[in-house]
């Protein structure tokens, strides 16, 4: 018989183990639900990418100007 005291070896608390396992599963499910937002795909912020691209282009321009002066 599944879930009864007589199913396991003498002295084994099957019902208590089942309760602890179910409690652990509930805690894991609650933790998983609570962290669902942090697992969502990351959204790309177009404004910061544009800013970084402009900064990179300005840096490349300054390097080209400096190289031109050095030659």
Cβ-Cβ contacts under 8 Å for 15 (sequence gap 6 or more): 3, 5
Q: What span, in angstroms and rounded, lies between the C-alpha atoms of 25 and 32?
A: 10
Nearest to 33 by CA among 23, 45, 25: 25
pLDDT band at 1, cuts 50/70/90?
very low
pLDDT given for residue 60 in this prediction: 82
Q: What span, in angstroms and rounded, lies between the C-alpha atoms of 24 and 21?
A: 5
Q: Give 6-64 pLDDT, tens digit per residue.
A: 566 788 899 999 999 999 999 988 877 766 565 666 665 666 566 677 777 788 888 88
pTM over 0.75: no
Q: What span, in angstroms and rounded, lies between the C-alpha atoms of 14 and 6?
A: 9
């Amino acid at each position: 018989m599944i879930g009864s005291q007589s199913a396991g070896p003498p002295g084994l608390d099957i019902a208590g183990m089942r309760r602890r396992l179910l409690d652990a599963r509930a805690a894991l499910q609650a933790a998983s639900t609570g962290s669902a937002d942090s697992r969502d795909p990351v959204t790309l912020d177009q404004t910061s990418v544009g800013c970084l691209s402009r900064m990179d282009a300005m840096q490349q321009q300054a390097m080209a100007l400096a190289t031109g002066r050095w030659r």
